[in-house]
C-alpha cells in the first residue's frame, strides 16, 4: 500500500494527521467516537452512523477481517473511518472497495479527549493533503449543516415495504428509520414474521399487525414530524416497541422533549440500570440525541454514566422503548430478552 499523507480537520481548526488507507477523496460529517473493542464492520454499516466520521478508540481495527454476516445493511453509512492502527489489509481493501475514506495513524486518544471536552463537531477526513489543503477543507467544513436539526431517516429507509421473514407465530411490522439487520434476525429468532415499512406508513395498516417495532436510525428526532405523528396514531391501538431513534420518537409522541447530547453514547460497554428490578445491563449504544430527563414513572431505565433516560414503559398506551440496542450487533447479549419477551407477549387479547 502506497503511503499518502491525509488528515482530519475539525470545525474548531484542530488537525489530526494520519495515513490514507481507504478510498481517495474527502469525507464530511460529524466527528464522533465509539468505545467498542470489536464490531468495526457492524459499526460502519449501521445506518445510525449516517453523516458521521467514526473514530474507533480501540488501538487496532481490522485485525479479524471482514465477513458478509457482519453487515448491518447493504453498504457503509459512516462517511469516514479514523483509526490509531490498521489491523489488516482485508479491512482496508473492504473500505476502499466501498468508497469509504479512512485514515490510520490518527492520535485517536487525543481526538476522543477533544470531542469529550468540546462536544461532537463537524469535520473532514481528507485522504491527500496535497489535493486539498487544510485551509480549504476547514472552510468547507464550516459550511456543512449541523447534526442538530438534521432529518436523515429518508436517506436510509426502505422506499417500499418488504418481508424478510415470511413466517412466524406473530406478525411484526418494523418502521424502518435505518433498521439494522440484527433487529430482524432477533425478531425471527423469537418466532415473528417480519414486514419492514418505510419511515412514514399508514398507521391503520400498521395497526393490523400483532406489534409494531420502531427501529434505530440517524439524525435528530425533533424534525421528524410525520414520523412522530404516525407513532402517536398507533398508541393504544397496537403494542409498540421503540429502539434508539424509535425510543426518542415514542418519547416525543408521548409528550416528552428530546435534546442533543454533548458527545453521545457509542460503544458496547454502557451500563444501564433497570429501575424496576435493580439489575444492571451492559449495553450496546449509538446515539447522539436523548429524551429529556423527568421524574415520570414511565422512565424504566437510566444510564449509569450520566443519568440519561434509557427506557420507557407506557402501559396505558401499550408501548415501551429502550435507548440502547437490545439486538446488540455488535455488543453484549444482556438485553436480548427484551426483544424476546416483547414478541412472546404479542398475539394475545388486547
Q: Provide the annotated active-site residues.
A: 244, 325, 327
How far apart (Å, rounded) are the C-alpha atoms in residues 209 and 187? 14
How far apart (Å, rounded) are the C-alpha atoms in residues 53 and 10? 11
The answer to whether the CB of 242 falls within 8 A of the CB of 326 is no
How far apart (Å, rounded) are the C-alpha atoms in residues 322 and 247? 6
Q: In b/e form, how buried is each residue of 301-329, taking b as 16+ CB within 10 angstroms? A: bbbeeeebbbbbbbeebbbbbbbbbbbbb
Neighbours of 127 (CB within 10 A): 25
Tell me the C-alpha to C-alpha distance, in Å, between residue 132 and each of 6, 127, 232, 322: 9, 9, 47, 42
Dihedral in degrees, nearest 10, Cα atoms 305, 306, 310, 312: 140
Amino acid at each position: 500500500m502506497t503511503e499518502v499523507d491525509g488528515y482530519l480537520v475539525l470545525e474548531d481548526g484542530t488537525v489530526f494527521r494520519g495515513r490514507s488507507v481507504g478510498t481517495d477523496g474527502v469525507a464530511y460529517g460529524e466527528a464522533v467516537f465509539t468505545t467498542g473493542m470489536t464490531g468495526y464492520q457492524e459499526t460502519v454499516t449501521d445506518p445510525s452512523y449516517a453523516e458521521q466520521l467514526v473514530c474507533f478508540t480501540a488501538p487496532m481495527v481490522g485485525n479479524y477481517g471482514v465477513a458478509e454476516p457482519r453487515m448491518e445493511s447493504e453498504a457503509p453509512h459512516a462517511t469516514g473511518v479514523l483509526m490509531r492502527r490498521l489491523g489488516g489489509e482485508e479491512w482496508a481493501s473492504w473500505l476502499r472497495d466501498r468508497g469509504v475514506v479512512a485514515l490510520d495513524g490518527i492520535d485517536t486518544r487525543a481526538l476522543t479527549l477533544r470531542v469529550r471536552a468540546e462536544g461532537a463537531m463537524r469535520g473532514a477526513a481528507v485522504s491527500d493533503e496535497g489535493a486539498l489543503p487544510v485551509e480549504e477543507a476547514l472552510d468547507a467544513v464550516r459550511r456543512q449543516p449541523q447534526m442538530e436539526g438534521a432529518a436523515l431517516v429518508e436517506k436510509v429507509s426502505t422506499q417500499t415495504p418488504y418481508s424478510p421473514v415470511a413466517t412466524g407465530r406473530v406478525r411484526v411490522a418494523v418502521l424502518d428509520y435505518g433498521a439494522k439487520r440484527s433487529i430482524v434476525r432477533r425478531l425471527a429468532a423469537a418466532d415473528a414474521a417480519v414486514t419492514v415499512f418505510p419511515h412514514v406508513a399508514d398507521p391503520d395498516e400498521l395497526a393490523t399487525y400483532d406489534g409494531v417495532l420502531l427501529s434505530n436510525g440517524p439524525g435528530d428526532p425533533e424534525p421528524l414530524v410525520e414520523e412522530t405523528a404516525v407513532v402517536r396514531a398507533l398508541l393504544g391501538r397496537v403494542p409498540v416497541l421503540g429502539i434508539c431513534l424509535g425510543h426518542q420518537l415514542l418519547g416525543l409522541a408521548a409528550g416528552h422533549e428530546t435534546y442533543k447530547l454533548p458527545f453521545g453514547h457509542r460503544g458496547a460497554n454502557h451500563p444501564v440500570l433497570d429501575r424496576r428490578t435493580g439489575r444492571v445491563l451492559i449495553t450496546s449504544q449509538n446515539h447522539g440525541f436523548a429524551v429529556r430527563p423527568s421524574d415520570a414513572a414511565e422512565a424504566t431505565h437510566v444510564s449509569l454514566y450520566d443519568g440519561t433516560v434509557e427506557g420507557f414503559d407506557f402501559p396505558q398506551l401499550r408501548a415501551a422503548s429502550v435507548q440502547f440496542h437490545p439486538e446488540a450487533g455488535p455488543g453484549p447479549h444482556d438485553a436480548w430478552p427484551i426483544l424476546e419477551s416483547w414478541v412472546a407477549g404479542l398475539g394475545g387479547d388486547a
